[in-house]
Amino acid sequence: MKHMDEDIVFIKNGDEQSRTKKPGKLYRLMLQSQKMEAIIAEIDPHMESRIFQHDGEEMHLVLEGEMEYTVGEKTYKLSTGDILWHQSNLKHHARNSGVQKVVYITIGTPPSLMSSML
């Protein structure tokens, strides 16, 4: 695992700090500091994440595919290039209702998403 004790960190495509695989879902922790984390998530068609609720805030950027992301009582339809930001203390989860895998980046501060999966 790379430690964030430097001013600059460069991560090559394919490198990751850790990987959490669940049926139909993959979460790759790419970067984590004391203040933020960056995760690349993949969700297979017709699968969804569990419901999360934790401290902080997060932003999601869809890299490929289409997905639904529910925050609180509202559901947003996201496609490639779309960004969604929200407070993480609101219940939230991702759902792939499409026919192809969805890939998206989540950046959260403070770094609490990966630890909430344990």
Residue 5 lies in a domain: no
Q: What is the pLDDT of residues 105-115, one digit of tens each?
A: 999 998 876 55
Measure the CA–CA gap between 118 and 41, rounded to whole angstroms: 16
On whether the CB atoms of residues 62 and 104 are closer than 8 A, the answer is yes
- Residue 33 pLDDT grade (very low, low, confident, very high; cuts 50, 70, 90): confident
Tokens of 96: 């792939």
Measure the CA–CA gap between 55 and 81, rounded to whole angstroms: 26
- Residue 118 pLDDT grade (very low, low, confident, very high; cuts 50, 70, 90): very low
Tokens of 23: 């049926």
The whole-number pLDDT of residue 1 equals 42
Q: What is the pLDDT of residues 36-70, one digit of tens each?
A: 999 999 999 999 999 999 889 999 999 999 999 99
Measure the CA–CA gap between 65 and 89, rounded to whole angstroms: 26
Amino acid letter for position 34: Q
On whether the CB atoms of residues 105 and 40 are closer than 8 A, the answer is yes
> DSSP 3-state assignment of 113?
helix
Number of domains present in the structure of the chain:
1
Burial of 43 from C-beta contacts in 10 A (0-12 / 13-18 / 19+): buried
- CATH (domain of 62): 2.60.120.10
Residue 12 lies in a domain: no
Residue 7 lies in a domain: no
Residue range of the domain that includes 63: 18-116
- The model's pTM is 0.86
